[in-house]
Structure 1
């Protein structure tokens, strides 16, 4: 196992694996103050999380992923390595986040949302290009964000939407493929995660 470095008040359940050694020279797993890793979760070496990092059960966080403060990673979620996540982020049950993805601050990813990083899986040799989710974005349940897409700050992606191109800031994206429109009044004012 890789070295585990924890802050004050951090709790790792029995049955969680923290510091999974994926390579002989991998670095430590670092968890800030008041963090909780629940039973069945696996965190690889070379993972760094700030204060108040919390997992549900059965979470997988692979190597070279970083998290700010106050991040919740819901049950059965996969953070598939080389992912950067900001602070005050709520990632709900069953979300998939692929390598080379970036998630800003004050972001909500709804249940079973899927981010992708390979435009032509097993058909062409491609450079992996995960999405960028900017600050203050909300993504609804079962939405899919395609490779290389940037979802602009303050935008709202509706449940079930398939986003195949960049979303401008402060925009509503809905449908398959997603169409864009202004944020309705009920969605203005930003996320209330922090």
Structure 2
């Protein structure tokens, strides 16, 4: 028996593989019907991907295989969510964003426009795992920033506009705009000329 997709609004020219599940309705206590799922024009959603109910996505959205976008997430135009990438809900993502293969984005995260997040990067949101109920605070990745492959960004950290986090860095403190963060723990360095300026994702 097929699932009810009456709450899903998918725009013109969108292609969704048969094994993808768009509008997946997680059980919400006291809710009789799932919240709407809205996806703009020209989406390409590949096999194994799950997009929950209660997600709003702009035009030109694309996924790799087995990606996950959970509830209460807002996504802008021309966003890529790569293979096996997880957006764990309650997240805001701007326009022209590339989340490469295997990225983890936790709840309560903000990602600006023209942001690149490299393969295997992990963003975190729990300052004191299993030790204190201090609330979840995901990172903020500001407009034009880049996060390199396998980098780790700790809860509540802000990556400034056009900043660059090097591959493998562990970012424990805010990274100012137009700077480079390198190492574990990451240390601020001057941004080389070849990395300066906004991303060219638009």
Q: Does 1:20 align with 2:24?
A: yes
Aligned partner of 1:92 among 93, 97, 100: 100
Q: Does 1:116 align with 2:124?
A: yes
Query: Contact 2:163–2:176 at 8 Å: present in 1 too?
Result: yes
Q: Does 1:73 align with 2:73?
A: no
Aligned partner of 2:11 among 7, 11, 14: 7
User: 1:127, 1:135 → 2: CA distance?
Assistant: 25
- Spell out, residue by residue over 1:51-83, the C-alpha distance to the aligned partner (whole angstroms, 9 max, x if none): 000011000110000100000000000000000
> 1:12 offset after TM fit, Å?
0.9
User: 1:144, 1:119 → 2: CA distance?
Assistant: 13
- Spell out, residue by residue over 1:73-99, the C-alpha distance to the aligned partner (whole angstroms, 9 max, x if none): 000000000000000000000000000
Aligned partner of 2:159 among 151, 166, 180: 151
> 1:123 offset after TM fit, Å?
1.6
Aligned partner of residue 186 in structure 1, secondary structure = helix
User: 1:29, 1:56 → 2: CA distance?
Assistant: 19
Aligned partner of 1:182 among 178, 187, 190: 190
How many residues get paired?
194
Aligned partner of residue 180 in structure 1, secondary structure = strand
> 1:41 offset after TM fit, Å?
0.4
Aligned partner of 2:177 among 144, 153, 169: 169
- Spell out, residue by residue over 1:117-157, the C-alpha distance to the aligned partner (whole angstroms, 9 max, x if none): 00111122120000000000000000000000000000000
Q: TM-score, normalised by structure 1?
A: 0.98
- Gaps (5+ residues) in structure 2? none
User: 2:93, 2:68 → 1: CA distance?
Assistant: 15
RMSD, matched Cα = 0.9
Divergent runs of 4+, >4 A: none
Q: Does 1:36 align with 2:40?
A: no
